[in-house]
Structure 1
Amino acid sequence: MPVQTRSERFTSPVHAEHPEVTGREAVWKLSPVEKLRELIDGPLDGSPYEITTTDAAGATVKWVERDHPLVGAAGSPEDRAAANAWTNFEKALHIRLDGDAGALTVTRDGLGSTPRAAHTVISAAQGATGLVVLDNRGDAKLTENLEIVLEADANITVVSVQEWDDTALHLASQFARIGHGARLTHILVSLGGEVVRVNPSTHLAEAGADAELYGLYFADAGQHLEQQVYVNHDAPHTRSRVTYKGALNGEERARSGSATC
């Protein structure tokens, strides 16, 4: 039987367990696959990279090992590119929010032209509040996974900004698990890069979980900006709202693709 719903899709963190990508698959049919081939199947540098952060009293940022208990807590790759990133990352960047954490900005600028894998975990303690801005700039060839884990009654906002240079390639799977009575506001802004494909996947895992997902994208000539948004109401008495808006500019070859389920 063919897969009927998003929740039935095969998941695995192992690259070799995913079928080869042809571009005809539902998850890839909107994407310029050949431009992304090295990120889907090629060798990736999974070593830690340089970041800059602002000060936030209730936030900590550090690199953790692959076997950290929060790695894999929010989701598992649904496609071959995300699995390639998961297979190859060496350490995960862990952003932890406790209490009233305030506002934290984490900036990546200068990843360079080497194909890279990355893994980031944002976790919020019980009752924690705060704002995390992930600011992506410069050149990059990057495939990555982002996990967001909210414990009970946490209320945080995560903003992911893609303002890469014109030649950048970026594939990202962003997973969220929202606990009892917790609330996540997720904001995705894609402006720069040649090909940027960011797929948020949110699980309202426990009663009273709440998610608001907003997206803004502006594609100029020669750009491909794509997002496939998924919200799963796993538990009863949960709520979600999804609003994505975008625009295309240029006489030709500006492309965007969006899907929500």
Structure 2
Amino acid sequence: MILGQSVIVENKAGAAGLIGTKFVKAAPADGYTMMVGTPATHAIGPFLRKKMPYDPINDFTAISLIAKSPSFLIVKQDSAAQSLAELLESAKAHPGEVTYGTPGVGQTQHMIGLRLARQAHVDLLHIPYVGTGPGVTDLLGGRLSMLIASAGGVVPLIKDKKVRVLAISAEERSTLLPQVPTFSEQGLSDVSLESFFALFGPAGVDAVIRDKLSAAVATAMSDPEMIKTVTAAYLTPVGSSANELKSFIKSETEKYKQIIKEANISVE
């Protein structure tokens, strides 16, 4: 409605977003082909993979930061750890025995676990899964100490009181779960890492077209109904300018580059 024409969504899944990202990189820079980028495609992947077929900044036109998505650190409801501090004390007492599950290697939640271990000076064992579901199963089955996951996979468990949330990775507390403290509040400011959804086009999109698209995203993300829908999904609506997204991506890439370098990890 905002642009006055239909928008076709084409799902090009595979290789942690690599297939779709390469497709958009090679598309004409006419403003008709765009992609929704995430940390996996534009902040983590470029430094995690040994061979990356694109530059996350120079090979794309930054258009707008759509929204941010925090992660939750959860434990089983009957866990002995009543707080993050108690969980970390257990990790210090039992190096390498306390486990944390994530949706996979290189996901934002994996980076959160790495940064948590480093800043808290503990040795945590990473258990990567394919998605959140298997991790939830192992957590509830007592085979996992904690799980770091996005809202979609754990909020129903929180509401049913099957798990306890010890921290949220957002910069501020969630209005939907105001009782859950942030990592920063608990002395772990470096662990405030959020996933994001951002709109990109191929490199070379004309500035007039780029700014028109940025304005359209900003208008959409400021709509009261859209804000209500996005917030209900535990996302933070943004709707930035192109320059703001470009600065944001530069900051994110530097942040994740450092985490990956410190952990000395890579994937083929």
Q: TM-score, normalised by structure 1?
A: 0.24
Higher helix share: 2
Q: TM-score, normalised by structure 2?
A: 0.24
Flag the structure with more relative contact order, 1 or 2, with Cα contacts below 8 A and sequence separation at least 6: 2
**Considering only CA atoms, is the larger Rg found in Structure 1 or Structure 2?**
2
